[in-house]
Structure 1
Amino acid sequence: MLMHQCVGLDAYNTMPLRRAVHAVYECCFSVPLAADLARTRPYLDRESLYRHADELLFALSEEAIDDILQAHPDIGRRPGSAKSAAEQCAVYAECPELMGELATAAKRYVQHFGFGFVMYVTGHCAADVLAAINDRLHHDRETERKVVRHELSRINRSRLERMLGPEGGYHNW
C-alpha cells in the first residue's frame, strides 16, 4: 500500500524534494529514478510525468533494474494471492494445485533467466499469470529484459496514477 495516495499533481509538484522522492520511490522502488523524477518538477500534466518516468526507467542500467526486481514479491507469495486466485479463477476447482503450478513455473523462470518474474497483473487471474510465465520462458534473455522493463513501466504508471489520485487530488496534503 502506498503511503502517498491521491496527492494530486499540484501538491506533488510543490512537495519538498525529500518527500517527493519518497512518494515516487513507493511507486517504482528506484532511488535514482525517484530522485530524477522529483528533481525535474514541476510537471505541466500527468502525461508529462508518466512519459518522463518511462524515459528514466528505460535509461536505467541492468543492475538498477535488478535492484528494482528485488523489491517485487515472488509470484504466488503476495499476501492474499491464493484467495484472489480462487475468486478470479472459478474454472479451477483446486486452487492450491494452480498455485503450486504457478510456484513451479516461477522457479523455472528464475532458473532460466536469473531474476524473478514480474507482470502487471491487474485484471489477470493466476491462470493468466501461469500462461504468461510459460509463454515468456520461450524468450531469449535480451527479449525478456525488454519485456520486464515494459511490465515495470505499466506497474509504475498504475502506482503513479494511484499516488496522484483523481484530477486535482484531495486537499489533505
Structure 2
Amino acid sequence: MHQGMGLATFNALPERRAVHALFECCNHVAMARDLARGRPYVNHDALFRHADALLFSLPDVAIDSILESYPHIGARPRSLKSAAEQCSIWNDDSTVMTKLDRGANRYRDKFGFGFVMYVNGLGCAAVSAALDDRLHNDLETERKVVRNELAKINRTRLERMLGPEGGYQNW
C-alpha cells in the first residue's frame, strides 16, 4: 500500500501510478482516475473534498460495487479480537463473530448490499449496536449512511497515503 508519500510526490506521480495509489484508497477505478486527473491539489483538504464530491456523485450501482470489496463483518475470526475482549457480555470470539455474522446477513437480506462502517477502534458492542440500529433504516436513508461511512474510510486511507505534510523521506 502507498503510504506517506506527501502531497507534492502524489501530485507529481504519473497518472497511472496515481490511479493505482488512489484505487487502494477508494476501491473504484473511475473515481481513482477522476481524482488523479484533478491534480495538482493545493492541500490535503482539497483532495479530500474532491474525493467526497466524487463519492457522493456515484450511482448506487457503483457504491454497491465498492461495497463488494469490503469483508463480510463477522466472517474473519480474530479480526475483532481486541473488540471482543472489550465485551464482557460475550465469552469468546466465536460468539461475537456469530452475532455479527447473523446481523450482517440480516442487513444484506434487507438492503441487498453488505454492511460497512468506519470502526476506528470501536468495540464489538458499538459495532453490533450500530448494525442493529441501521437495520431500522429505510433503503434511502441507509444508502446515505453508507456513503458517509465510505467517505470516512476513504479519508483515513487518503490520509495514510499522503502522510504528514511533506510526506516521509522514503519517497
What TM-score, normalized to structure 2? 0.95
What amino acid is aligned across from residue 102 of structure 2 in structure 1?
T
Deviations 1:3-54 (A, max 9, x none): 1000101100000000000001000000011000000100000000000000
**Preserved CA contact (<8 Å) 2:77 2:94:** no
Aligned: 1:38 with 2:45: no
Tell me, in whole angstroms, the C-alpha distance in 1 between the residues paired with 2:29 and 2:112: 23
Structure 1 segment 11-26 matched on structure 2, within 5 A = 11-26=9-24
Aligned: 1:166 with 2:171: no
Tell me, in whole angstroms, the C-alpha distance in 1 between the residues paired with 2:154 and 2:78: 21
Q: CA deviation at 1:126?
A: 1.3
Of 133-142 and 123-132, deviating more is 123-132
**Preserved CA contact (<8 Å) 2:56 2:147:** yes
Tell me, in whole angstroms, the C-alpha distance in 2 between the residues paired with 1:98 and 1:79: 9
In structure 2, what is the equivalent of residue 112 of structure 1? 110
Tell me, in whole angstroms, the C-alpha distance in 1 between the residues paired with 2:102 and 2:95: 11
Q: Which runs of 5+ in 2 are unaligned?
A: none
Match of residue 5, structure 2, among 4, 7, 26: 7
In structure 2, what is the equivalent of residue 156 of structure 1? 154
Where 1:73 maps in the other structure, the secondary structure is coil
Structure 1 segment 5-84 matched on structure 2, within 5 A = 5-78=3-76, 80-84=78-82
In structure 1, what is the equivalent of residue 93 of structure 2? 95
Where 1:77 maps in the other structure, the secondary structure is coil
The alignment-based identity, stated in percent, is 60
Q: CA deviation at 1:96?
A: 2.1
Where 2:120 maps in the other structure, the secondary structure is coil
Tell me, in whole angstroms, the C-alpha distance in 2 between the residues paired with 1:113 and 1:40: 33
What amino acid is aligned across from residue 85 of structure 1 in structure 2?
A
Q: CA deviation at 1:98?
A: 2.0
Q: CA RMSD in A?
A: 1.3
Tell me, in whole angstroms, the C-alpha distance in 1 between the residues paired with 2:77 and 2:9: 31
Tell me, in whole angstroms, the C-alpha distance in 2 between the residues paired with 1:74 and 1:138: 20
Tell me, in whole angstroms, the C-alpha distance in 1 between the residues paired with 2:30 and 2:162: 20
What TM-score, normalized to structure 1? 0.94
Q: Which runs of 5+ in 1 are unaligned?
A: none
Of 97-106 and 23-32, deviating more is 97-106
Deviations 1:114-172 (A, max 9, x none): 10000001121111111111000000001000000000000000000000111210122
Aligned: 1:129 with 2:142: no
Tell me, in whole angstroms, the C-alpha distance in 2 between the residues paired with 1:79 and 1:94: 11
Tell me, in whole angstroms, the C-alpha distance in 1 between the residues paired with 2:151 and 2:97: 26
Alignment size in residue pairs:
171
Q: CA deviation at 1:99?
A: 1.8
